[in-house]
Amino acid sequence: MKRYTPLLLVVWLAGCSSWWPWGDSSGDVPRVPPGATAYKCDGNKELYVRYVDGGKSAFVIFPEREFRLDTAETVSGVRYTNGHTTLRTKGNEAILEEGSNVVYSNCKSGG
């Protein structure tokens, strides 16, 4: 068995090269992370956000990480930020900015 272990490891790793926990671009139906809201955005991008603490905070969920944003004052809608990244929402629409760059635009949730 020891002789085959390296071979099995290589085969297993080769199968994981395009791993994405919620589906992939091969036509699989993506699965929304538990408790998250899915947004469809420009550029065929998807954004997943989990709102917590009664909407006082939001976790932006990427395949490799997730991070917390807290509410901040805004004139209309809701704004979540950590000082560098900002999520702006209004109704079922969202925009995600990193610094002064919009990275997810024209995002709409299912309802």
Q: Which residue type occupies 54?
A: G
The pLDDT score that the predictor gives to residue 47 is 96
* Interacting residues of 88 by C-beta distance below 8 A, sequence separation 6+: 74, 77, 78, 79, 80, 94, 95, 97
Alpha carbons 97 and 6: distance in angstroms, whole number:
43
Tokens of 27: 């036509």
Q: Which residue type occupies 18?
A: S
Entry field: residues in the chain: 111
The pLDDT score that the predictor gives to residue 111 is 60
Alpha carbons 61 and 94: distance in angstroms, whole number:
14
Q: What is the mean pLDDT of each run of 10 residues along the chain (111 residues)?
A: 44 44 50 91 96 95 94 92 96 96 96 60
* Interacting residues of 82 by C-beta distance below 8 A, sequence separation 6+: 67, 68, 69, 70
In this prediction the pTM is 0.71
